[in-house]
Amino acid sequence: MAEVDKGGPADKAGVEAGDLILSFNGKLVRDSRDLPPLVGAARPGSDATLKVWRQGKEVELRFKVGELSAAQATAGPASPERAGPNRLGLSVEDLSPSARKQLGVAGGVVVTQVEGLAQRAGVRAGDVLLAVNGEKVDTTAQFEALIKKVPSGRPTALLIQRNEQRMFIAVPAQ
């Protein structure tokens, strides 16, 4: 890692600037894009192991999955609204106000499970869905209504945020 945010999940896990992450819970991390969905799929509060390459040797870090994991970001005092899997293969949950603040988003829903068409297109668990075909998403109910409006045989454009990067992913028609 080039930089570790002080007080953030990586810092709390013991990751240091310059560490090369090798695996998360025994699953190989070949690319920086591999780690967020692995962490996002881990249950908040569960024990986890991270192997890193530090100063010429392998180091194993043991920790509890922290409060900024994407899967936990939906947690709030009440049960979040859940939806899915829908015809694209997505299950989503509402984001709590604190999660929205932490992620720097005004709206959106978080992907909790992905399969089928959306998985093949590159959507990952932990992604925050911000818009469907150019229409802003604020709640799971709104997301589901927008998906139902997409005519069969038409691709769906999803605006997602993954970490601090926003991107469009086109999910092919079914």
Q: What is the mean pLDDT of the chain?
A: 80
Q: Is the pLDDT of residue 77 over 60?
A: no
> C-alpha 124: how far from its chain's center?
6
d(Cα 46, Cα 168) in Å, to the nearest integer? 31
DSSP letter string over 53-81?
A: EETTEEEEEEEE--TTSTTGGG--SSPPP
pLDDT higher for 6 or 122? Answer: 122
Domains and CATH numbers, the chain: 9-64 (2.30.42.10), 72-171 (2.30.42.60)
Supply the pTM of this predicted model.
0.54
The string of pLDDT tens digits covering residues 31-62 is: 666 777 787 777 778 888 999 888 778 899 99
The string of pLDDT tens digits covering residues 119-137 is: 999 999 888 999 999 999 9
Q: State whether residue 12 is helix, strand or coil.
A: helix
DSSP letter string over 33-44?
A: TTHHHHHHHSPT
Confidence band, pLDDT 50/70/90 cuts, at residue 79:
very low
Query: 54: burial class by Cβ within 10 Å (0-12, 13-18, 19+)?
Result: middle
